[in-house]
Amino acid sequence: MKTIIAGSRAIGRLRNREWDYDRLTAMIDEAVAKSGIRISQVISGGAGGADRAGEIWAEKNEIKLVTIKPNWAMGRGAGLIRNSEMVEQAEALIALYDGQSNGTKDTIDKMRLKGCHVFVLTTKA
3-state secondary structure of 63: coil
CATH number for the domain including 44? Answer: 3.40.50.2020
Helix (H) or strand (E) holding 43: strand 41-44
Residues forming a β-bridge with 67: 44
pTM, rounded to two decimals: 0.95
Query: What's the length of the chain?
Result: 125
Instruction: Give, for all 125 residues of the chain, the pLDDT tens digit.
Output: 999 999 999 999 999 989 999 999 999 999 999 999 999 999 999 999 999 999 999 999 999 999 999 999 999 999 999 999 999 999 999 999 999 999 999 999 999 999 999 999 999 87
Q: How many domains does the chain have?
A: 1
- By residue range, what is the domain housing residue 82? 2-122
In degrees and rounded to multiples of 5, residue 44 shows phi and psi of: -120, 150
